[in-house]
Amino acid sequence: MFSLFYGLWKYIFSKTEFHVLILGIDKSGKTALLEKLKTLYSNLEGLPPDRIVPTVGFNIGRVEVLNTTCVLGPGRPGMIQYPKQAQYVTKLSSFLYLPQPGLRSIWEKYYEEAHALVFIIDAACPSRFEDSKSALEKVLIHEDLQGAPLLILANKQDLSEAVTAEELARYLNLKKLDERVYMFEAVSAFNGTGIKEGVEWLVEVMERSKRTEMLRNRAGVDGPTYSFISG
């Protein structure tokens, strides 16, 4: 009986973890995004934009997102079902990899374990849209990322020259997006605009994603165990 109640308590209140890769070409704002995530979702104050320097190698960060909309049930045959809401914490473990041309091959080493992707684009620099589009297309066709939910961020919306998320979506015209769950979001890693909306959408999507189920089954995990990896 103790083990039954302990298992139920652990199922409801344990922290889940997602692995999410944050990708994008150089100077798109990945480090700034990671620092803003620290400010928004942890007790740590992220670096202010004027102190951020180009990343050499990769950055690692970890933040927690409080989610109160998880419905427990129905469960698998043989499991006790508790159709009530439970408050739990989702842990995001973030790894940021430098995406300069000579280092983009590093990305692929982390594809297999990723539950989802965040691809960030400098919306204020149209001259580099084609480079971002090319990099994203290569990511989308990789076999190790099949079914991974995708959040595309049109960053630097604090700048007057930035295009909207809708304009960026029309420019990219990515046919491969029809094959996966995705969202375009206009954000500013400088002032935080739109970041919570995008991240919390991604958490909700990952919780019911077939890819999450596949990764959990492959790891032999009984119940929700996820981590966020951003790269």
Q: What is the pLDDT of residues 64-114, one digit of tens each?
A: 664 422 222 222 222 222 222 333 344 444 444 434 545 556 677 778 888
Phi, psi of 72 (to 5 degrees): -90, 105
Q: What integer pLDDT is reported at residue 48 of this predicted model?
A: 63
pLDDT bucket at 228, cuts 50 / 70 / 90: very low
Helix (H, G, I), strand (E, B) or coil at 20: strand
**Has 26 been labeled as part of a binding site?**
yes
Q: What is the pLDDT of residues 32-56, one digit of tens each?
A: 888 888 788 766 665 566 555 555 5
User: What is the reported pLDDT for 191?
Assistant: 93
185 pLDDT more than 90: yes
Alpha-carbon distance of 59 to 229, in angstroms, equals 11
Please indicate if the annotation marks 164 as binding a ligand: no
Residues in CB range of 28: below 8 A, 6 or more apart:
99, 120, 121, 122, 132, 155
Q: Which pLDDT value is given to residue 197?
A: 92
CA atoms of 120 and 184, how far apart (whole Å): 10
Which residue bears the tokens 């997602």? 18
- Asked whether residue 198 is marked as a ligand-binding residue, the answer is no
Q: Is 24 annotated as a binding residue?
A: yes
131 is in an annotated binding site: no
Q: Does the annotation list 225 as a binding residue? A: no
Task: Compute how many other C-beta atoms are within 10 angstroms of the C-beta atom of residue 37.
Answer: 27
Mean pLDDT of 192-208: 89
Residue 159 has pLDDT above 60, yes or no: yes
Q: Which two tokens stand for residue 91?
A: 């842990």
Q: Residue 119 above 70 pLDDT?
A: yes
Percent of the chain whose pLDDT exceeds 70: 59
Q: Taking residues 23-30, what's their average pLDDT?
A: 87
Query: Is 147 assigned a ligand-binding role in the annotation?
Result: no
Tell me the percentage of the chain whose pLDDT exceeds 90.
Answer: 28
* Residue in this structure with the two tokens 């981590």, named with its chain if needed: 227
Residue 222 annotated as lining a ligand binding site:
no
Residue scoring higher pLDDT (132 or 220): 132
Cα–Cα distance measured from residue 49 to residue 210, given in angstroms and rounded to the nearest whole number:
36
50 annotated to a ligand binding site: no
CATH for 14-219? 3.40.50.300
Consult the annotation and say whether 31 binds a ligand: yes
> Does 27 appear as a known binding residue?
yes
Using alpha carbons, select from 15, 37, 19, 17 the residue that is nearest to residue 148. Answer: 19
CB proximity list for 127: less than 8 A, separation 6 or greater: none
Q: How many CB atoms lie within 10 A of CB 112?
A: 13
Q: Work out the mean pLDDT of the chain and round it to a whole number.
A: 72
